[in-house]
Structure 1
Amino acid sequence: MDAAVVLWAMSGALILRFGTARGREAITSEFEPYGAVTLVLAGVWWTILGLSGSRDTTVLGYGTEEFKRILTGSFWLFGLVATVSYVFQLDTARGYVALALPAGVLSLLISRVLIRSLLRSQRKVGKSSSSVLIIGGVFGAEHLARALGSQPMAGYRPVSTYLPGTPPGTTIGGSLKLPNLGHDPSSAAIVSAVREARPDAVALSSGVPLAPSVIRELGWALADMQIRMIMAPALTDIAGPRIHTQPVAGLPLIHVSTPNLGTGQGLLKRCFDVMGACLLVAVLSPVLLAVAAVIKADSSGPIFFRQERVGAGGQSFQMLKFRSMVVDAEDHLAALRAHSDGNGVMFKLKSDPRVTTAGRFLRRYSLDELPQLFNVLNGTMSLVGPRPPLPSEVEQYQSHVHRRLIVRPGLTGLWQVSGRSLLSWDDTVRLDLYYVENWSLAGDIAILLKTVRAVFSRQGAY
């Protein structure tokens, strides 16, 4: 796929740039053989994509690292072209490069998205995944097995366990139904079980009850068998950029940096919010006007609905939405609380009688949320962040949940792209805290792109 895409991009740039008679003269001239240049650059581009690790099985089909490596490799290539052209005084056609780079990068990203859709359908049924033998204590092995099983798109499929040091007959949680291959803590017994099972990878869970010498011998044996070894530390909800490994006396020490909540990062996020919100308001202004007209024609009352929400630092603000309910909706809330379909803290009702006819359509496609762009502009919200909570919800927070108020609430966020109202309260909190602890600009961009898909899929929207 990569080879086809880069060859298409380079050939397309060649045709568009030199499609005229004058352009063909440039191609066939003695000093500008762009036909050969096209083939060479396509080959080099394809090679750099491989060297940058964009096709590595550990990143293929899951997370944003795959896309980062595609962008990095592509810009390295064209930076190299610019440098060589400058050093050797080559008169490289700028239009040719300007066409090939964006066309190739965009096509590569689209092709990888298509590959992900194929992988998603295959990995849901256990295909195109690495089979994993999990070694560890009962609780550690069960936690790791459930974590890997909950994210099939990561490409790891637990198939069995090995529980060293436990009594014979011990297994992990019954619902997982993973066979246990042994209990002997010796390296010879573990290697024998691995040879029999032949997994693609062996994962050691946190707190595995094995001596360092046994783990070292196991690593050697797995290397000889061409089986990957994975170490799963006890760290949870920590993103890759915050993890750094430092070898000390033969030990790989894992350093976890502090969350990106400094002044510089905050300023970067604010600039991104303002520019993004201005662009979206300009592009979506016809939609905003059309929605306002529909609401006015559908039912009597104001176009906008204002509601008190809690923002960064626990400060209250007025959140804007397009009105999707009858005017006196808040007066009927108490009578409906007993029928909530929410997660215990947030009130949600799948068939809310207060929602107007136009409001059902607006909520289905999240159009009622668009006025929050003005909250982004006035600084009370961000484009991406935790869900803005009601004061009544904040009153029910446990102490650790207040960490989600460190940053501005968002128009969209991990909650929005992960199921919305279908999530439990614990999952909602976990996603929000993960975002706060691991914020990055690249992560915000990825969430915004996923939001488009979430809106049209309508999953959890009611």
Structure 2
Amino acid sequence: MDLVIGLISFAVIVQVIDRLLLPGDVFSYLAALLAAGAWPLLIAATGGYRRRRIGVGTGELRSVFRAGPALLALSVYPAAMLSQWSLLTVVALTAPLCVTVSTLGRFVARDRLHRLQKRGVGMRRTLAVGSPDAVAALRDAVAREPFSGMTVIAACLPVGTEPDGLGIPVVGGLNDVRAVVMHGGYEAVAVTGGEYLRESYLRRLAWSLEDVDVELLVAPGLAEVVHSRLDIKPVVGMPLLEVEQPKFTGWQHTIKRALDIVLTLTGLIVLSPLLLVVALAVKLQDGGPVFFRQTRIGRNGEPFELLKFRSMVVDAEARKAALLDRNEGHGGLFKLREDPRITPFGQFIRDWSIDELPQLFNVLEGSMSLVGPRPHLSHELAEMPVDANRRALVTPGLTGLWQISGRSDLPGNEGVRLDLRYVENWSITLDLLIIWKTFRAVLTRSGAH
């Protein structure tokens, strides 16, 4: 895919700027062809094709972003030596195009891969090693997120522990891992921790699997922290895992705000006819207000007025008390799949998430971002775990991990966990990935009620 993208991108750019090139400049065309062939090689050099990066995390996308500047840097020296500045012009214009199209191509491929993985295709057969509780936690986490590419099919537990209710076969003890892997056809071994697992055990386990074609995964005990914030520091011969603190200010957040403004203005211009039609339809259905306004809690605990197209009857809040005993929500949230307060047209705009579009004005004024944790009511926050307060460190979003992971269908405090994961591991790449996946969540109407 990247080779084809490189060839097409360079061909398009060369044609566009052909008048800038010397007539019959065969060298420039030949050099452009070589540069196009170098595009997938540079992605490979930055780790873009490693199996463990495909389909999960942002490492695959970061490799593409790094390959763009690398391609430009590599073209400077030959262009200067041969005085062929037309080549540098071609590469300077083509590198951003290659990055953009290769990134979009990966989003499409990743979406296809995730759909296959939900059906059990392309999954790595994984052997879990650890205490029963830790193995059960890994099993549940993998079941929730099939796009991890893993399926836990068996476990090795400490001798003498009770595997009651584990749901997967126990095929050996902690010292049987190598033999089990050799005969079981496993592709990954996940050491999940527990009081039984010590440094010496992990070292011996790694040695025993050196000549076995299997991936060894070790849980560091730091949930929801991505590898970009982790680093190994050798201290007096003892490796320590350094955890970089998350950053909530700086140039990346300035870029995030700039992207919010540009994308929001573009969205408002493109969607303005739809917004006008929906506003008119809401007004005509019962003569009530077009917008539903509600005070939510934003960054640093500051309240702000959130906008939505009104999808319920005018006196919806007054009727809420009579429906509390039918609440299907979790963690302080009020959710009712068959809510009698929703109007027929309101149900339609909810199904397609059109009712959320006025929040683009919240994004434009700065009280919200395109991507971020879900903004909640003050009384909802009061009923949530204390850890949920960390979401106030960033600006709440129109969409987020909660929306692309099931929205109202999420069990228990799963939405809070996803919001905290976003806060701890935010990046521009993650934002772009969430925006891309939001379109699919809206089209499939996943969890929209």
TM-score under structure 1 length normalisation:
0.87
CA distance in 1, matches of 2:364, 2:7: 43
Q: Which moved more, 1:261-270 or 1:278-287?
A: 261-270
Within the alignment, does 1:142 sit opposite 2:144 as a pair? no
Matches within 5 A, 1:37-436: 37-93=31-87, 96-97=90-91, 100-164=94-158, 166-167=159-160, 170-171=162-163, 173-175=165-167, 177=168, 179-183=169-173, 185=175, 189-207=176-194, 209-210=196-197, 212-262=199-249, 267-343=254-330, 345-436=332-423
SS at the partner of 1:336?
Answer: helix
CA contact (8 A) 1:142 1:172 kept: no
Contact 1:386 1:432 in 2 (8 A): yes
C-alpha distance after superposition, 1:350-409 (max 9, x if no partner): 232322333222212222222222222333222222222123313323333222233332
- Number of residue pairs aligned between Structure 1 and Structure 2: 449
The alpha-carbon deviation at position 53 of structure 1 amounts to: 1.0
CA contact (8 A) 2:129 2:174 kept: no
Q: Is the 8 A contact 1:167 1:183 kept in 2?
A: no
Tell me what 2:30 maps to.
36
Identify the range of structure 1 (204-213 vs 449-458) with the bigger mean alpha-carbon deviation. Answer: 204-213
Per-residue deviation, residues 389-440 of structure 1 (Å, max 9, x unmatched): 1233133233332222333322222212211111124101111222222222
Q: Percent identity?
A: 37
Q: CA deviation at 1:460?
A: 0.9
Per the alignment, in what secondary structure is the counterpart of residue 248 of structure 2? Answer: coil
Q: 1:377 to 1:2 in 2, by over 3 A?
A: closer
Preserved CA contact (<8 Å) 2:292 2:307: yes
C-alpha displacement of 1:16: 5.2
Contact 1:321 1:368 in 2 (8 A): yes
Cα 1:83/1:368, change in 2 over 3 Å: farther
1:451 offset after TM fit, Å?
1.8
- In the superposition, relative to structure 1, how do residues 17 and 269 fare at CA in structure 2: closer, same or farther (>3 Å)? closer
Task: Indicate conservation of the 8 Å contact 2:61/2:429, yes or no.
Answer: no
The runs of 5 or more residues in structure 2 that have no matched partner are none
CA distance 1:350–1:45, shift in 2 (3 Å) = same
Per the alignment, in what secondary structure is the counterpart of residue 134 of structure 1?
strand
Alpha-carbon spacing, 1:452–1:211, altered in 2? closer, same or farther (3 Å) = closer
Query: Normalising to structure 2: TM-score of the pair?
Result: 0.89
For 2:369 and 2:38, locate their aligned partners in 1 and report how far apart those are by CA, in whole Å.
41
Structure 1 residues 210-219 or 396-405, which shifts more? Answer: 210-219
Residue 445 of structure 2: aligned partner: 458
Displacement of 1:11 in angstroms is 3.8
Contact kept in structure 1, 2:131 and 2:196, CA below 8 Å: yes
Cα distance per residue 1:277-299 (max 9 Å; x no partner): 33333333333222222222333
Counterpart of 1:221, as a letter, is S
Q: Is 2:7 the partner of 1:4?
A: no
Q: Distance in 2 between matches of 1:314 and 1:369?
A: 22
- Residue 94 of structure 1 and its aligned partner are, at CA, apart by 6.1
Q: Which runs of 4+ in 1 moved over 6 A?
A: none
Q: 2:36 and 2:366 mapped to 1: Cα distance?
A: 45
C-alpha distance after superposition, 1:32-66 (max 9, x if no partner): 42443243223211211111111111110122221
Secondary structure of the corresponding residue to residue 383 of structure 1: strand
CA distance in 2, matches of 1:315, 1:14: 52
How far apart are the structure 1 equivalents of 2:33 and 2:268?
43
Amino acid at match of 2:398: L
Deviation for aligned residue 1:87: 4.9
Structure 1 regions of 5+ residues with no counterpart? none
Take 1:226 and 1:255, find their aligned partners in 2: how far apart are those partners? 29
Root-mean-square deviation (CA, aligned residues, Å) is 2.8
Amino acid paired to 1:7: L
Q: CA deviation at 1:150?
A: 2.7
CA deviation string 1:129-169 (max 9, x = no partner): 322222222222222233233322122222322223x228x
Shift of 1:77: 0.9
Matches of 1:287 and 1:83 in 2, distance apart? 51
